[in-house]
Structure 1
Amino acid sequence: MKRRIGVSIYPDHSEFEADKRYLEKAAKLGFSRIFMSMLEVTDGKEAVRQKFQRIINLAKSLGYETILDIAPAIFEELEISYDDLSFFHELGADGIRLDVGFDGSKEAMLTFNPFGLAIELNMSNDVAYLDNILTYQANKPFLYGCHNFYPQEGTALPYDFFVRCSERFKQQGLKTAAFVNSQTGKIGPWNINDGLPTLEMHRHLPIEIQTNHLFATGLIDDVVIGNAYASDEELAAMAGVNPYQLELTVDYVPKVNEVEKEIVETCQHFRRGDITSQVIRSTEVRKRFARAANPPHDNLVAFKRGDVVIGNDDFGKYKNELQIVLASHTDKRKNLVGTITEDELVMLDFILPWSKFRLK
């Protein structure tokens, strides 16, 4: 399934022109999905129609898919029914996210709406909610999953729980989404905004590392910035993440040589299938650089988890093999060339046998 990046906007807490500038900037960088909250609407049906139609029409012209976040109270406020989704179709929305669920039969029936609206479910519960819906023969191509975000510090999901919830949806082949947090965004649905991530461990990390992590899990197809507005730098950094292959950043040691830099930066790395617990081995690169000299340097230190080492001239046939250290050890036949940045060390767990990865 193709992977995408997206943004969130909150028309009841923002101005159209500011939203317009934000969406235009993000679209130029490749963002293609919008999460748009309707949980706060109080202006009446016609005012809501005009406000949301205007911004959704703009989004369509920029190539976005727009999902509206709704709850039962919205239907009461707008005097509409779950049995007739024409209002959201008229707004131009591509789907609606059900912040609160029903009995399973209702959700299944909604996936057969005549407008082709996607029905997105709340993924942040480790219960058989999805299984129940599917027993009612839901129209699976129109059924999505999307995690919650959590405005209060300390209340977002722990990683192991996130995995269990997400696996329920991925095992059924459904499109999935989760949120990352902008460190500059101040706008969200509520008057408390300590950031809007899905995972608590992400709340204070750079946005590109959050994004890289979610894609690396293999459990999330769409990564969406939960709060508005992300900075230009954050948008560019997130757009630079490879959604399909793990890319890790290496901080070089001062004595790294040009051969080592070329091995690190220009090669398509993959982990050997017959793995070891001590290092991640990228072995094919040594064939390409078999004749390149690589004198010893920084080879008498104790290597630690996350260090990037390359075999030096004393390593025989293993000269110029690249390894990422998983367990501390020493070996003077290897040069320390750099270290994976600390915030990215968690990603080493996703480099499995035969996993492809790049270093930058």
Structure 2
Amino acid sequence: MKGFGVSVYPDMDSMDRIQSYLHLASTYGCQYVFSSMFSVQGTKQEIIDYFKELCDCAHENGIKTVLDLNPPFLKKMGVSYDDVSLMQKIGCDVMRMDIPYGREKDLVLVQNPYGISIMFNASGNIIPELAYFKEHNVPEDRVMLGHNFYPQPYTGLKWKYFLQNNAAIRKYGYPLQCFISSHAPDAHGVWDAVYGLPTVEKMRKLPIDLQARECLASGNMDMVWIGNAFASEEEFRSLQEVMAAPRPISESPLKKVLESYGFPLPQYSEDKKLRIIMDSDVTAQERYQVFDLYPQSDMGDSSEWIWRSRAGRMLKPDIPARTYEKKMFAPGDVLVVNNNYAHYAGEVQIVRLPIENDGIRNHVGKLAEGEMDMLDLIQDGDVVTFLEKK
């Protein structure tokens, strides 16, 4: 099950506001709160007080705390790799080491007696460190990997590098996280960040739910955290929709049909979600084919021209042909096969390359802006759930 987190900055906001925010986030399934401890100015005791109050507030809302740290800051606080008792007293659940000590000292750190997980910076070359941990049988609940966020526009990670690096990290089995951005008015972060706080540059201006869906659909990401504060309730609502588990096959309208064919019922615990803008004249039956029938999946033997789910035809629906004035369907168009090709009527298809409007398919909608990139992340056999963009 995928998860999401938020970030807060107790040196920039009142604890009352943070408390309200964390309570709201928790109602939508937030699991972690991140904060940059080493960027806070103040005396040692002031910093301890800041973050003790933050950790208490998070725990009251059932949220785990992740504090961003580095060796020079820890030394200033009187914390060493072999004694993190102060972090335990503060209430820190995860120490994120923006800069590591080095693998021998880090091995001692991850074996701390307090059960504090250690998160290492995933945006650099962490592979030798992970290999060392595996050689020493460090369990997967003691190490996490977390990417940087990038406050300055045009400085975030390249998408290709992000994918390649995550694939290399995934081989070691430790959970992996990245940052996405809120677009709420006045959202802010460390160092006067007002341009969002994503890990990947191409995500900076995308809707928050699309950022999350693309990062998670990339195949090696476990969690996304909102880097800036404060996200809106509408954004939380969209993330909750993204994180929702797929509907169980036992409740599918196709269950009896699949059983009658003797097919083993498909087992799946995750899906990938596409957001669609539906046409105003779409029929109730066409909506049913798109949104209510599941599981939807391309079996892998489709052409380059379309993504194709056969599920919709199994119930032999009645799909009268409707006129569509254009001669060609464009990439991103969502189609349902109609009664002019009755054997296939009810299939849901998405156009990848322009195809002729030959009269056997009804135009029912189109992918929302930016969703073609999401479609490219859907592999053969992936279960797809369609979400409507209002």
TM-score, with structure 2 as normaliser: 0.87
Q: Deviations over 1:256-283 (max 9, x none)?
A: 2221111111111111232321111110
CA distance in 2 between partners of 1:179 and 1:20 (Å): 21
Matched, 1:118 2:110: no
Where do 1:42-191 residues align within 5 Å? 42-126=41-125, 128-134=127-133, 137=136, 139-141=138-140, 142-184=142-184, 185-191=186-192
Q: Once superposed, which parts of structure 1, at least 4 consecutive aligned residues long, lie more than 3 Å away?
A: 126-133
Amino acid of the residue matched to residue 317 of structure 1? H
Could you tell me the percent identity over the aligned residues? 29
The corresponding residue for 2:281 is 255
Q: Deviations over 1:114-157 (max 9, x none)?
A: 00110101001246343453265152320100000000000001
Contact 1:9/1:227 (<8 A) preserved: yes
CA distance in 1 between partners of 2:44 and 2:217 (Å): 42
Question: Secondary structure in 1 aligned to 2:355?
Answer: coil
CA distance in 2 between partners of 1:287 and 1:109 (Å): 58
Matched, 1:347 2:374: yes
The corresponding residue for 1:316 is 342
Q: 1:87 to 1:256 in 2, by over 3 A?
A: same
The corresponding residue for 2:20 is 21
Kindly state the Cα deviation for residue 182 of structure 1 after the two structures are TM-superposed.
0.8
CA distance in 1 between partners of 2:241 and 2:129 (Å): 33
Contact 2:134/2:172 (<8 A) preserved: no
CA distance in 2 between partners of 1:90 and 1:119 (Å): 16
CA distance in 2 between partners of 1:186 and 1:143 (Å): 30
Kindly state the Cα deviation for residue 294 of structure 1 after the two structures are TM-superposed.
1.8
Question: Secondary structure in 1 aligned to 2:67?
Answer: strand
Larger deviation: 76-85 or 96-105?
A: 76-85
Kindly state the Cα deviation for residue 19 of structure 1 after the two structures are TM-superposed.
0.6
The corresponding residue for 2:386 is 359
Q: How many residues align?
A: 358
CA distance in 1 between partners of 2:285 and 2:306 (Å): 21
Q: 1:216 to 1:299 in 2, by over 3 A?
A: farther
Amino acid of the residue matched to residue 217 of structure 2? A
Amino acid of the residue matched to residue 96 of structure 1? M
Q: 1:223 to 1:16 in 2, by over 3 A?
A: same
Where do 1:290-301 residues align within 5 Å? 290-298=316-324, 300-301=326-327
Larger deviation: 133-142 or 324-333?
A: 133-142
The corresponding residue for 2:249 is none
Kindly state the Cα deviation for residue 356 of structure 1 after the two structures are TM-superposed.
0.5
The corresponding residue for 2:243 is 242
CA distance in 2 between partners of 1:283 and 1:218 (Å): 24
Kindly state the Cα deviation for residue 326 of structure 1 after the two structures are TM-superposed.
1.1
Amino acid of the residue matched to residue 339 of structure 1? K
CA distance in 2 between partners of 1:291 and 1:202 (Å): 39
CA distance in 1 between partners of 2:35 and 2:291 (Å): 39
Q: 1:219 to 1:115 in 2, by over 3 A?
A: same
CA distance in 2 between partners of 1:359 and 1:95 (Å): 35
CA distance in 1 between partners of 2:32 and 2:62 (Å): 8
* RMSD of aligned residue pairs (Cα, Å): 1.7
Matched, 1:273 2:300: yes
Matched, 1:215 2:242: no
The corresponding residue for 2:290 is 264
Q: 1:76 to 1:323 in 2, by over 3 A?
A: same
Contact 2:92/2:116 (<8 A) preserved: yes
TM-score, with structure 1 as normaliser: 0.94
Q: 1:32 to 1:338 in 2, by over 3 A?
A: same
Structure 2: stretches of 5+ with no match in the other structure: 245-269
Kindly state the Cα deviation for residue 183 of structure 1 after the two structures are TM-superposed.
1.2
Larger deviation: 232-241 or 153-162?
A: 232-241
CA distance in 2 between partners of 1:155 and 1:193 (Å): 14
CA distance in 2 between partners of 1:138 and 1:314 (Å): 61
CA distance in 1 between partners of 2:68 and 2:212 (Å): 21
Q: 1:69 to 1:333 in 2, by over 3 A?
A: same
CA distance in 1 between partners of 2:148 and 2:342 (Å): 53
Larger deviation: 150-159 or 350-359?
A: 350-359
CA distance in 1 between partners of 2:363 and 2:23 (Å): 44
Q: 1:29 to 1:127 in 2, by over 3 A?
A: closer
Question: Secondary structure in 1 aligned to 2:13?
Answer: coil
Amino acid of the residue matched to residue 192 of structure 2? N
Question: Secondary structure in 2 aligned to 1:316?
Answer: helix
Kindly state the Cα deviation for residue 300 of structure 1 after the two structures are TM-superposed.
4.9
Q: 1:229 to 1:259 in 2, by over 3 A?
A: same
Q: Deviations over 1:38-79 (max 9, x none)?
A: 022332222222221112012112111111100123123313
Amino acid of the residue matched to residue 6 of structure 1? G
